[in-house]
Amino acid sequence: MEPRLDLLTLGVPDLAAARRFYVDGLGWQPVWEVPGEIVFIQINHGLLLALFGDEALERDVAPDAPASVTPGPPPMSLAQIVATEDEVRDAVDRAVAAGATVLKPPQHGDFGGYHAYFADPSGFRWEIATNPGWRVDPDGRAHMGPIGDA
């Protein structure tokens, strides 16, 4: 697994309030969004911040998770986008060999790509995914869009 971070996903309890804070309040510009579901904002060279409903993030990690998020810090995940399904599987295998716990084995996702989640030994969650709607320009501008619009 390459030492790189492409997405930082925050599980927020109120997506509309989070969008108002980051977009309307701070003036950060969305790169792409699915209204009411997820907002992607560029925050650095090739790095996006994703605002995703906390319960939706929990269901993405563990589809059989309880309907509500447990008390404590809001959920979040770190993500790396790779080119192939084999790279997803290889990254998960390497992470497990290093001590990670698989939270969601590699599989096709509802978003159209292929992904998996694992937790590092401290419990931080990583998603490894393919996403044909993702690209980074040479100047570092990241793009996220519907699968097939890359």
pLDDT in tens, 6-42: 999 988 888 999 999 889 988 889 999 999 999 999 9
CATH class of 7-144: alpha beta
- Rounded distance between C-alpha atoms, residue 112 and residue 148, angstroms: 9
- Rounded distance between C-alpha atoms, residue 92 and residue 116, angstroms: 7
Q: Which residue blocks in 1-99 are alpha helix, DSSP H?
A: 15-19, 54-61, 85-97
Collapsed DSSP state (helix, strand, coil) of residue 108: strand
Does the structure show a pLDDT above 80 at 130?
yes
Give the residue among 142, 98, 134 at the shortest CA–CA distance from 113. 134
Domain residue extents for the chain: 7-144
Does the structure show a pLDDT above 60 at 148?
no
User: pLDDT band for position 150 (50/70/90)?
Assistant: very low
